[in-house]
Amino acid sequence: MTPTASGEERPSSVIRRPSSRTVFWRVAGVLVVAQVATALLAVVLSGVFAQERSQELLEGTLRLRLDAVAEEVEDRADIGPLGEIEIPNRLGADLATRFPDPLALLDETGAVVDTFYHWFEAFFEILTCIFDAEEDVLFAYLEKVSASASSAA
């Protein structure tokens, strides 16, 4: 029989539970924390490297598409001896549908020669200009049209 802290005696055949303060549990805890930290670090680094690689691939793809567009403009546009560029209507329509964003054509000095974008974007740009004007141009026009239509009837 072995005495306990409370003064009771218990049989020696009772197995003691390991204390949470033993070296084994401390080392096991440190190893689990280290393993979880390593796994989190691996996930974060994988995400960062995948994002960088994805961005590099996107930049390369965009560069190749722009190079192809530049070659097509050189082939299909009328380029004068002094560098002036005349874009046929068909080529302008093709360029407007290549990218979701507007495509600007620049000369050697970097000045914008022409900008190509979808027709509906131009339509909304015009509507924005009309509605943002200080004068109610559109409403005055609609009133004039409705007045002339009612007088004709």
Please spell the DSSP secondary structure of the chain, one letter per residue.
-EE-TTS-EE-TTSPPPPPTTSHHHHHHHHHHHHHHHHHHHHHHHHHHHHHHHHHHHHHHHHHHHHHHHHHHHHHHSEE-TTS-EE--HHHHHHHHTTSSS-EEEE-TTS-EEEEE--HHHHHHHHHHHHHHSSS-HHHHHHHHHHHHHHHH-
The pLDDT assigned to 55 comes to: 93
Q: Is the pLDDT score of 127 beyond 70?
A: no
pLDDT digits (tens, 9 = 90+) for 42-90: 999 999 999 999 999 999 998 998 898 889 888 888 877 877 778 887 8
pTM of the model: 0.47
Q: Is the pLDDT score of 20 beyond 70?
A: no
